[in-house]
Structure 1
Amino acid sequence: MKNEPLYQQIKNKIKEQIQSGKLRVGDRVPSEKELTAEFHVSQITTKNALAGLAEEGIVERIKGKGTFVCESNLTTPIKQPNKSKGLIGFILPSMKTKIDQEFVNYIEKYVSKNGHNLIIKITRESQFEEANAIEMFRKMKVSGMIIFPTEKETYNDAVLRLSLDKFPFVLIDRYMENILTYSVTSENELGTCEAITHLLNKGHKNIGLVSPIMTNTVTDERSKGFENAFLKRKTTINKNLWLTLGFNEISPNKTPKLIKEFLLSKPEITAVFTMNAELALYTHLAISSLKKETCREIELLTFDPPGIPGVSFIKQDIAECSKKTVDLLLEQIEGKYEPKRMYVPVTLKLSEEVELAETILT
């Protein structure tokens, strides 16, 4: 109101800013000098305005610090987050690799984006713990589950039971052969075929393979991709150059030594493909040690980024895998049940690209 005193007009203006949420509890209110400049009035007028607001308990004036909005019926209540639609359980075998960590990051992102909360259970490659996690989540009445199965040879009865009960769940990274369920996995076979073809095109004829024992669809698909590259070239494949390691043989203390001994026994090998980034690291250590002793050059290529400069790798699209996984789970939670197996394309990242990217970044 024009007939209102100037100090009252300033008080009303500040109240409007608080009511609209422009100023919230704890926010600093413009100082006397700032208000003087803004409203083109004397500092006495702005002082009276702030003093009046303080008397009404709307602001608090702290000597040497300023004037701040305090609790009052003028403040706009903070909007509470939307109530969660429910819980989703995520079971995975470990958190030791970057891929595991990326899956957790993106799964949580898409689960939260769709209004659910995520609970995580790490099985540490134990089928017993995997079964316990499934039972625990069912007792917690989760809306659905995302399961990254263990490396073991057979699937848990608990996982099979989920399928028979048509409980909402999605397998990630692998699937159940001969049993129709929802699953999302990368193009393991095609990606490996492309990688081995790349090595063959470079002139490598004797290509070694380092792999865990082949107990699941991931290792099976990648080994098929390896074979297909040779079949397409009508080139003989020598599986004597394949090294398969038991789960108890894979560790920082054992594996590099075993790989080095294998490479020493196979002097014809000029390139090695490893099934995952962990084995790539151990193989790189073995190759480096061998090179110091014999000056032997062996090219390394792997599935997933190993974090080793100059090493080519197959890159999975973890973000897309995670998004498709959550989408398929929500589809079931919403009442639709049409089991399907989805594949997500991968990309071969050559060492030249890796090195160039690192040069640009540095």
Structure 2
Amino acid sequence: MEPLYIKILRDLEAAIVSGLLKPGDQLPTEKELSEKYSVSRITSKRALNELEQKGLIERTRGKGSFVTSKLETTSVTNRVLLLLPFTDDIAIGNLSGSILPVMQQVQYELMIATYDFLNTHTTQDIKAEFDGLIYYTEDENQHLDLLFELSFADFPIVLLDKEVPDLNLPSFLSDNLSGGKKACDFLIAAGHKRIAYLFGDHHHPQSTRQRYLGYIQSLMEHQIDFHTSFEEDTTSEDNLLRYVKQNQITAFVCENDITAIQAMRSLRLADLCIPEDISIVGFDNIQAAALVDPPLTTISQNFKAIGETAGEALLSWIKTGQKPNSQKIPVTLFVRESTKEIKS
């Protein structure tokens, strides 16, 4: 069981680090703390002694305890928290592996945790234990309360992969709109004019919507009126074949590589050849993209650059107090054998 004084210590430390208690402010007395937390004065005294040893407060006999005026140099923990939706982040480009060296260069500890960490830690705990937070945004509506509370307290937070429109926080993500446009530009240059966008399911996150808008932008810039999107089950060869024939599709831009690979299988089962009958471009450049038959043309995200840029921006914020700007990291087209030129 956690010692009673730890609760008092954490609460006071969080109030100091968050700025609720400012340099020079007086803390509650031992008697007031013992009454508030229903503990002995010895317990409350120990919590205050610990804060004094950490350099967060100064104690003067007969006057009380005050937040130290040297707080700016003593409250730094040299620790950053990276919150991910799952333990293994290989699926999202091993972001932790790219952020860790950035932190090690300046002797910062990087603690990597899943969202479950938030079940046992409050915003006050995070502010007391860390200097900043790197948060991978799986769903832009998730943990809004926590992010808002930390942001309101001017706690340094940077977001990965998606923006959160309701919060003024810097985000570091792939240029998804440019990626969708780049994929469609490539197919148009190869002679395709009946190009469709292929969604993988009925849940379209921010990144997928941006890729779709990039596809639309490409068609508009090339003055191609035809555009369409398929949102049904890509594993059904009958549905996909019917859609291709009805719209005379010659190429697909797919929301991701998984969707592209599923479509390739379904089209082959419907006796269509890739790329002779249909050209396909994916997105993400997952390992399977180079291994399928035929190897998949795809857009690659630079997760290493995303992680490094986000880590450096957060450290700069911690050091200077200046909030960084959001950045979109360029993507790259990998041309493989799932696409081909067609005659006009």
TM-score range, shorter chain: 0.5 to 0.7
Contact 1:144-1:168 within 8 A present in 2 as well:
yes
Check if 1:257 corresponds to 2:235.
Answer: yes
Q: Residues 142-175 of structure 1: CA distance to partner in whole angstroms, max 9, x if unpaired?
A: 2211111123656622222222222111101111
Larger Rg: 1
After superposing on structure 2, the runs of 4+ consecutive aligned residues of structure 1 that deviate more than 6 Å are 292-296
Question: Partner residue of 1:20?
Answer: none
TM-score relative to the length of structure 2: 0.64
Check if 1:337 corresponds to 2:329.
Answer: no
| 153, 176, 186: which one aligns with 1:188 | 176
Counterparts in 2 of 1:134 and 1:109: CA distance versus 1, 3 Å: farther
- SS in structure 2 opposite 1:91? strand
Q: Residues 263-286 of structure 1: CA distance to partner in whole angstroms, max 9, x if unpaired?
A: 133023332222223333333333
Contact 1:170-1:325 within 8 A present in 2 as well:
yes
Contact 2:198-2:253 within 8 A present in 1 as well:
yes
Gap runs ≥5 in structure 2: 1-75, 340-344
Question: Partner residue of 1:115?
Answer: 107
Check if 1:350 corresponds to 2:341.
Answer: no
Question: Partner residue of 1:220?
Answer: 209
- SS in structure 2 opposite 1:334? helix
Question: Partner residue of 1:3?
Answer: none
Q: Post-superposition shift, 1:210?
A: 1.9
| 117, 125, 131: which one aligns with 1:143 | 131
The percentage of counterpart residues that share the same residue type is: 20
Q: Residues 10-60 of structure 1: CA distance to partner in whole angstroms, max 9, x if unpaired?
A: xxxxxxxxxxxxxxxxxxxxxxxxxxxxxxxxxxxxxxxxxxxxxxxxxxx
Check if 1:93 corresponds to 2:78.
Answer: no
CA distance in 1, matches of 2:135, 2:120: 10
CA distance in 2, matches of 1:213, 1:337: 39
TM-score relative to the length of structure 1: 0.61
Question: Partner residue of 1:206?
Answer: 195
- SS in structure 2 opposite 1:90? strand
Aligned 1:1-362 pairs, distance under 5 A: 86-94=78-86, 98-123=90-115, 129=116, 131-132=118-119, 135=122, 138=126, 141-151=129-139, 156-177=144-165, 179-204=167-192, 205-213=194-202, 216-239=205-228, 241-243=229-231, 257-258=235-236, 260-267=237-244, 268-291=248-271, 297-306=277-286, 307-309=288-290, 310-351=295-336
User: What is the aligned length?
Assistant: 254
CA distance in 2, matches of 1:256, 1:97: 26
Q: Post-superposition shift, 1:115?
A: 1.3
CA distance in 1, matches of 2:330, 2:149: 30
Gap runs ≥5 in structure 1: 1-83, 124-128, 245-254, 355-362
Contact 2:197-2:252 within 8 A present in 1 as well:
yes
- SS in structure 2 opposite 1:180? coil
Q: Post-superposition shift, 1:334?
A: 1.5
Contact 1:256-1:285 within 8 A present in 2 as well:
no
CA distance in 2, matches of 1:273, 1:134: 42
